[in-house]
Structure 1
Amino acid sequence: MFRKMIVILLLFFTATACQGRYSQSEYDVIHSIKSNSTSEKQEDHRKYTIGIVPKVMGISYFNVAEEGAMEAANDLDVNVIYEGPPIADASKQINVIRHLINLSVDAIAVSANDPEKLLPIILEAKSKGIKVITWDADTNPEGRDFFVNMVDTETLGRHLLDTLAWNTEETGEYAIMTGAFSASNHNEWLKWIKHQQSEFYPKMKLIDIVETEDDPQKAYEKAKQLLAKYPNLAGIIGNSSVGPPAAAQAVREAGKTGQVKVVGLSTPNLMRDYLKDGSAQMSTLWSPKKLGYLTVVLAKNLLEGKLPYDGQDIYNVGTIRVNGDTVIMGEPIDFTAENVDQYDF
């Protein structure tokens, strides 16, 4: 009887020990699965690096666009490198893009100074697996996935001519100060300005188009030259952000406030004083900050395999339109002496 009790007790303890070992083994496996799952999630959450290339650094328009791009970088948890040339020059912009390629960024968004000259370097970026889009100013379509445009080009070009016509009684000689003859967006706007005038304003006459190279000082010199060369000048349209304030300053200094009307594309902060004293009549633009923000959002979406679509609602931007391979952010805004203080950019 005693021996039977010993055997029973031995069997009991052996079974208990086996159960303990089995339970511990099962726990280890579960622990291991949780650990691997966490590791896989960390690998999936890779922080993208996006290079944003403006036409030129240091001017108000692109400074405000940078603010929007950096805000989006913070909101979306991506790295943004905002880097452009010191002057609006295609060869210097090529150097910037090459630098970003060497940094192995995930995507590059370019505001192109020259669509033809930039094409080889952006095709090189694409060949290395870098996603490429354009914003503000387009390049050739084969060089990018899509173009992030501010507004519809025809709408804007025609509207710019309208704003001058409204202020010159639809008559008189006028000149245009463009940013760069090589910039696709400037050329598109020029085309539609000319169309609008020829179709609807026969008493107006375009007498000169000058290039500012998006340089504030050069724009100012060009404006003074226009005023000196054309004594009967009725108005000036600036189709890049440095043009209208430079023209308004030259008009003010020449004592021609109210005589020569100034309109065009520029920020409300640059134009506020000129609008209020009558040296300029109207300024038109969109929000460069929203444009910078939208560009980063769409670049990140592209990296995640998501293309923009018509009617898409973008946080901090609004509803976008998509026409083919072009994204249209919204409609232009007109700034006047009466409403300019409502805006701050």
Structure 2
Amino acid sequence: MARAASALDYRELARRRLPHFLFEYIDGGSYDEVTLRRNRTDLQDVALRQRVLRDVSAIDTSATLLGRAVRMPVALAPIGLAGLAARRGEVQAARAAEAAGVPFTLSTVSACSLGEVTAGVNAPIWFQLYMVRDRGFLRDLLAQAREAGCDALIFTVDMAVPGSRYRDVRSGLAGASGPLGAARRTFQAMQRPGWAWDVGVRGRPHQLGNVAPLLAGRTGLDDFFRCMRENFDPSVTWRDLEFVRNEWPGPLVIKGLLDADDARAAADLGAQGIVVSNHGGRQLDGVLSTAAALPAITGAVGDRLTVFADGGVRSGLDVVRMLALGADGVLLGRAWAYALAAAGQRGVTHLLNLLESEMRVAMALTGVTRIGEIGPDVLARP
């Protein structure tokens, strides 16, 4: 596998390696994908202020996120089914994050189970939670996360119902259920023999990890998507945060906020952090990009809790842009999934090293040497 020169190269390498339906699942957004594109273009339009003749001989990218010292203010975001991008993929990604000194977040709907991932690393991971109807299942899942030593819970709140992702319909991942859908996906997998052997055969068992109890022995992708549609709870309100808070004693981060009033509500209810996010453009199309929404939210609650941001980040330069807009940390999403698909753990490790190197260059050329110095003054147009 050729080494990517930048994070964007990994996307093309992933497209060549993954079955069509799986690449489209990772790559796509909802409806016309307007917000998906805005996440990238709005972030790229953030102009930085170049400064010269400053001593930038000692750049320090380290930071503290939710009480943990990290090598840079970046964490791997939760991505559903990311473990299918490579053999036991979430374990590989968690190991790469540990080696890079940044947190890894495991999705509720991961391919690998919480127990498998935590057994494969020494550093604690973060765990992401979706609210489903079965509170007993959630109580057991949170108990597993506590016992496994997870040191933060990322509670995703922008999935009351799944977004309409038309790429998944066109690719055969959704909408083509039963034997016809399975045959279509099998044909696509056969066109990627490297993936079919390494992941499809050697990567067994495919039990869809944490949600296996809800699936009751069923293991097909059709079963998984049907189960999620039936089990996501659209009745959830802020009052349900009390249930999560009672079951989770550690740091709680609310993910999926785009509105300052919602951010204030999260702070009022005792969350330790929020993630400004539109779910990577995969939920409500046409909403603000993260870069556009972030300044108002950090202005409203930035001194009350830790503010993370995701959406469109593909480089260390993008990380610096998000920090300049007010974020305390950045969750990296699709970029690590592409790297995992292209080259496994080695790809994710290389990607994270690239990000750190790019951050160092961006910091030096904007005249800052520490993460705490990155703020509105780094923007060309504050």
- TM-score scaled by length of structure 1: 0.27
Which one has more relative contact order, counting CA pairs under 8 Å at least 6 apart? 2
Q: TM-score, normalised by structure 2?
A: 0.25
Is the strand fraction higher in 1 or 2?
A: 1
